[in-house]
Amino acid sequence: MVEDLPTGYYLENFNFLLDFVSQNYTDVLSEPELAYRNKFLKLSLDAQRLYVRLTGRRGPLFRVDKLVYDEIDCIPAAVTELTLAGLLNSPAEGEIQDFLSLIVKQELIDLFEGTDKKLSRTELDKFVQDTYTSEQVTERLPFQIVEPLGKDYLQVYKLLFFGNLHQDFTTFVLRDLGISPYENYVMDSSARYFDERSVVDGVLQSYALREASRLILEEADEELLAEFYIRELQPIKVNEVRLLRRYSRIFNTVARQFERYGRDVEALDLYEKSSESPARERRSRIHEKLGDTGRAIEICREMHALPLDEAESEFAVKFSTRLSRRHKLMTDWMPQLLKEDFELRQISVDKDPENSVEMSACRWFVEQGEDARYVENGLLSGLFGLYFWGIIFAPVKGAFFNPFQRGPADLFSPEFKITRQSLIEAHLKEMTLGSTLVDTVNRNFNDKLNMANHFVNWRRLDQELLDLSLERIPVAHLKAIFERILRDTRNNRSGFPDLIVFPNEGGYCLSEIKGPGDKLQDNQRRWFRLFAENDIPANIVNVIWQ
């Protein structure tokens, strides 16, 4: 595993990231951020290695006497060099618990007067925290404690490189180990995820606000949330599309909590700031709750005219129909609600506490002599990803800006289909010609095995399943499914039935398994409507425990 990688692999990856960002984002980086890289480059090899090792660990504090890295010749000298360079610090104050986490129980008893070895570790920590200041704690430590500096600058470099903060240097390691290789796509030398510093700062702020809101929501403190809203969220005004999308998720989450508190004014304000679903749905519901039925229906009309997704369009029709009937109102834009008549089946299954209801049902079908596989979102989404692989990773301007992307930057936006419209139409047409579909899927399954792709979960696919699926599922059925995925690549890559069943007499059936009390989710219901419209064999299997 990691030990199989060459010595200093982590430093090579670190330098690659710093070099890549400095070459592509010099005009976006601040002077201190540029100086951070230059300072790092002047370090000795040992100091560079130690710094990268420490910034890659959880920390935030480290005991120098516990640092052991075989590839670093002299750790104390590297510590001194990093300290003089301003990239390492020996803190005299800080969170007491951070210091205590570096001390084993016996050391804690030996170092601090008044401790009792009969106390639990938790009790000992509390005693020290209640009795000593952080400065008094550090004065008693017989070893040096250090913390790496410049991590805020490094965070900016990571953001500029990955376009997000959830990827890190682990991505390099997984690639180098062959666990999660990435497609060798063409990167546009002129493509950058960020062109303005204000957007970078906005994204960093959105991450900070998301974390702050999460902590406050966990506290379940209404007044604290109200203060957070007034101080942090209410002043926000943003027009940049990517920033607005990020902030909107925060707005929606906090607004929903305000609804639960009965604070509809604050909730409405945040929903009105949001550009993301389900903000308009919630606004319509709140206006109806407040007695403004006309405004509630008007929002539904706006949603139906220009829906963000199928869920919005569906809600607009259902909710406005309900309101119109309840209040005896006439509207001239609402289509008729579609009658749903999905095929139902009921089976009796021995309850197995070791298996989920889906796996229990799958075993039941196998016991009946049928070939059943638990595939959920893995099969049909995977077939889409394998067939459209070449289009997903096509060299489109601005699509790829770093070597670690599971798809193009616009994959989950309407621009993905618009930009590649002619390629997509031609590829859909080619599906019906000879063995194009089978050949393309099989070629990519073998050539791209384990490569990162948002649509392909390799653990859910094998050659036997692909062969049987491509043999039994008509091309017309897959074409209808692929076209719906393309209408909303973010939301329509999920919601597929749990099982695919291959009867002995031929054909196939997609089966959604429901235990007692379970119902179809909205996205599953939308898939079943498509199945019905295209004569795709599918059913809902209700499991009764024996």
pLDDT tens figures, 234-269 = 999 998 988 999 999 999 999 999 999 999 999 999
Residues 9, 49 contacting (CB under 8 angstroms): no
For residues 441 and 466, give the distance between their C-alpha atoms in angstroms, rounded to a whole number.
Answer: 8
Q: What is the mean pLDDT of residues 325-340?
A: 76
Question: How many CA atoms within 13 Å lie on the side-chain side of 324?
Answer: 18
**pLDDT tens digits for range 188-240:** 777 788 999 999 999 999 999 999 999 999 999 999 999 999 999 999 999 89
Reply yes or no on whether the pLDDT at 276 is more than 70: yes
Q: What is the mean pLDDT of residues 274-289?
A: 97
For residues 398 and 420, give the distance between their C-alpha atoms in angstroms, rounded to a whole number.
Answer: 13
3-state secondary structure of 484: helix
Q: Pick 108 or 536 by higher pLDDT.
A: 536
Cross-strand partners of 538: 510
Reply yes or no on whether the pLDDT at 117 is more than 90: no
450 — pLDDT class (breaks 50, 70, 90): very high
For residues 172 and 163, give the distance between their C-alpha atoms in angstroms, rounded to a whole number.
Answer: 15
Residues 174, 167 contacting (CB under 8 angstroms): no
**pLDDT tens digits for range 357-377:** 999 999 999 999 999 999 999
Reply yes or no on whether the pLDDT at 337 is more than 70: no
Q: What is the mean pLDDT of residues 411-424?
A: 95
Reply yes or no on whether the pLDDT at 442 is more than 90: yes
477 — pLDDT class (breaks 50, 70, 90): very high
Residues 67, 75 contacting (CB under 8 angstroms): yes
Q: What is the mean pLDDT of residues 267-290?
A: 98
pLDDT for the residue numbered 1:
59
What's the CATH number of domain 197-327, 3.50.50.60, 1.25.40.10, 3.30.930.10, 3.40.50.150?
A: 1.25.40.10
Residues 320, 515 contacting (CB under 8 angstroms): no
Is the sign of the CA dihedral 81, 83, 84, 85 positive or negative? positive
107 — pLDDT class (breaks 50, 70, 90): confident
Helix then strand then coil, % of the chain, to nearest 5: 55, 5, 40
Q: What is the mean pLDDT of residues 163-181?
A: 93
> Could you give the residue range(s) of every CATH 1.25.40.10 domain in the chain?
197-327
